[in-house]
Amino acid sequence: MNVDILGNAVDNYWRKGDTTPVKIWINGHREPDMNPQIFFRKFPSMLGYEKLVMKAVKGRVLDLGCSAGCHAFYLKNARGIEVEGVELSPKAVKIARERGLVVHNLDWKELSKSNFDQAYALMNGMGLAQSLEELDLLFNKLNLCLKKGGVLWIDSTDVTYAEAYWPVKNKAYFGLVEFQLEYKKKKQRFPWLFVDRKTAMKKARIAGFSIVECKLEKNGHYLLQLRKIR
């Protein structure tokens, strides 16, 4: 990771109280800023779908893409849940560990952990897969991490609503976009995947999950609750 924009923002907030926001563009279209405080939210400030997951998970839990650990921190300290995080940013990992969490500094593709009762990847978690082909790999990897009958919570957004104002970058699949982040004059670009519900559910089934529930939110956002069946 050459430039760790979010890691730097999180680190500066944690150590200095610096609330400088991260600027965001999607396919060149300016989006609302992201404030680093979001990665330290407490339960009352979480969105409805996050609260649902935080209340429902149980057993030994995997938090994929945990950043500084707002979800894991709540589970550990408010509910006494055994939770392990996985995060790519070294700075975010260091902060999460300082907060008393068990976090592994790994790319999700390197995951070898298993026997979790439940797992979750939130805040458009399917975007950790940077292509539709990688989404197959992500679902398969998470399947291997879970016990039979284990539950996966994962979300994404059907972004067809944005076709009116996002320039098309990928003609084959509109949901494969280019993110650009800017923080204190440093920039970072990377692909991100937003997945329509039909595609997400099809790929989840192929990977060995059944669809327990699909909870619809605003602006195309949805949360899948999946159960490992093989």
Segment 177-221, tens digit of pLDDT? 999 999 999 999 999 999 999 999 999 999 999 999 999 998 899
Task: Supply the pTM of this predicted model.
Answer: 0.96
Residue 164, pLDDT score: 87
Residue 113, pLDDT score: 79
Residue 165, pLDDT score: 87
CB atoms within 10 A of CB 30: 10
Unique residue bearing structure tokens 């529930």: 213
Cα separation, 101 vs 176, in Å, equals: 32
Contact present, 192 and 179 (Cβ < 8 Å) = yes
Residue 218, pLDDT score: 85
Closest among 131, 188, 221, 203 to 8, alpha carbons compared: 188
Residue 50, pLDDT score: 98
What is the chain's mean pLDDT, rounded?
Answer: 96
Band of the pLDDT at 101, cuts 50, 70, 90?
Answer: very high
Helices (H), the chain: 5-16, 48-56, 70-78, 90-98, 132-145, 197-206
Query: What is the Cα Rg of the chain in Å?
Result: 17
CA angle 223, 226, 230 (to 5 degrees): 160
Query: Span 5-228: which CATH code?
Result: 3.40.50.150
Q: Where do the domains of the chain lie?
A: 5-228
Band of the pLDDT at 90, cuts 50, 70, 90?
Answer: very high
Residue 210, pLDDT score: 98
Residue 66, pLDDT score: 97
Q: What is the pLDDT of residues 122-178, one digit of tens each?
A: 999 999 999 999 999 999 999 999 999 999 999 999 998 898 889 998 899 999 999
Residues in Cβ contact with 14 at an 8 Å cutoff, skipping those fewer than 6 apart:
40, 68, 95, 98
Q: What percent of the chain has pLDDT over 70?
A: 100
